[in-house]
Structure 1
């Protein structure tokens, strides 16, 4: 899928209307590993971490890792774009003690992302992993993105996501983002999630977001 700025993000179904300038207001959102209380036994996930592996956590992940760039709301933020959604904790999870419930605000699109205040070099990392689960129509068309000074979006269905109410574990080669124009040595947002139009209160479960060097 071609390279696009935030003003023209591509969805699986095609180009969506220009959403205007995204709202990058800090939402102050924190995962349990950033200070929250655990609420159940931690699950190892579909691909448990093995000591000695290279695994990078960038938010939305509680499992074992060799490196971490945590959301600190100072240099690393989770931005919810244009009030298109809310994020809520859920114990229906695939790893750790909770997942994140993405709740549609009923607008013509939906988006959020992990953003770094200073670009970082992800050369040497090869694969972005994410687990998704939804059967609601607002999440039939989902894209996963990364940004340098622009955004490269890839359809989640290409990597095994189906809107069927089951967990799907996606492994997205970073080479596919590079083919779309991403510069791995200047990444500003390592994980961006985009969905299409949907009714308010449609939901999707998101969990298990990390990078590996295979």
Structure 2
């Protein structure tokens, strides 16, 4: 969806906006879990092994070979249109904390990791992320990636079920490329979108990284 058509879309109550051009007013600074009674670093469902290629882009604390840290200057986590809040949770599968996505009770919800300067992800093959929710507002979830435009893929296609259990998704980057994303010029490597929900609905998100296989 191009910028002009997005402006039209935002005027329609029933039209969920394309997160390719979100409202950037809600930047999220991820708090440090810090010391506490539950401060064991969990390795995740697929622990990092030396010699592997693994890219972290924020929301990941485990071992990695490369890292694009969210610094709030050139790389950001944006909460779109006031549709949610993010809170730290020790109910996790990796590291010290997961993100608790809290629905604001609107007709849609979204956030994403954004880079001010596009980056080349041609050398990476798979996006990994773990999700857990049983709340109706997260029955329909999509995972997106942006260049100038946005491609969103249904999480259910990659094993997510709204059943209150952890599901570890592995999404081929080729699927984003097939939708039109130029992997050589990615502006948002991870975008999360959900539909309408009650203000109390929550989802746990953890273990976000890329691999070269």
TM-score by length of 1: 0.90
Matched, 1:124 2:130: no
Preserved contact between residue 26 and residue 77 of structure 1 (Cα < 8 Å): no
CA, structure 1 residues 38+171, in 2 after alignment: closer, same or farther (shift >3 Å)?
A: farther
Preserved contact between residue 134 and residue 203 of structure 1 (Cα < 8 Å): yes
Residues 170-193 of structure 1 show CA distances to partners (whole Å, capped at 9, x for unaligned) of 000000000000000000000000
1:23 maps to what in 2? 23
- Give the whole-Å Cα distance in 2 for the aligned partners of 1:64 and 1:132: 20
Q: Where does the alignment leave 5 or more consecutive residues of structure 1 unmatched? A: 9-15
Matched, 1:202 2:204: no
| Structure 1 consecutive aligned stretches of length 4 or more whose deviation exceeds 3 Å | 4-8, 18-21
CA, structure 1 residues 168+28, in 2 after alignment: closer, same or farther (shift >3 Å)?
A: closer
Q: In the TM superposition, what are the counterparts of 1:6-17 in structure 2 within 5 Å?
A: 7=6, 17=15
Q: In the TM superposition, what are the counterparts of 1:112-151 in structure 2 within 5 Å?
A: 112-151=111-150
Query: Does the residue aligned with 1:112 lie in a helix, a strand or coil?
Result: strand
Aligned residues between the structures: 201
CA RMSD across the alignment: 1.6
Cα displacement (A) at 1:201: 1.7
1:13 maps to what in 2? none
- Give the whole-Å Cα distance in 1 for the aligned partners of 2:198 and 2:81: 16
Query: Does the residue aligned with 1:176 lie in a helix, a strand or coil?
Result: helix
Cα displacement (A) at 1:19: 3.5
Query: Does the residue aligned with 1:37 lie in a helix, a strand or coil?
Result: coil
Q: In the TM superposition, what are the counterparts of 1:88-99 in structure 2 within 5 Å?
A: 88-99=87-98
CA, structure 1 residues 47+30, in 2 after alignment: closer, same or farther (shift >3 Å)?
A: same
- Give the whole-Å Cα distance in 2 for the aligned partners of 1:115 and 1:197: 23
Residues 48-88 of structure 1 show CA distances to partners (whole Å, capped at 9, x for unaligned) of 00000000000110000000001000000000000000000
Preserved contact between residue 78 and residue 112 of structure 1 (Cα < 8 Å): yes
Cα displacement (A) at 1:167: 0.1
Cα displacement (A) at 1:29: 1.2
CA, structure 1 residues 55+153, in 2 after alignment: closer, same or farther (shift >3 Å)?
A: same
- Give the whole-Å Cα distance in 1 for the aligned partners of 2:116 and 2:180: 21
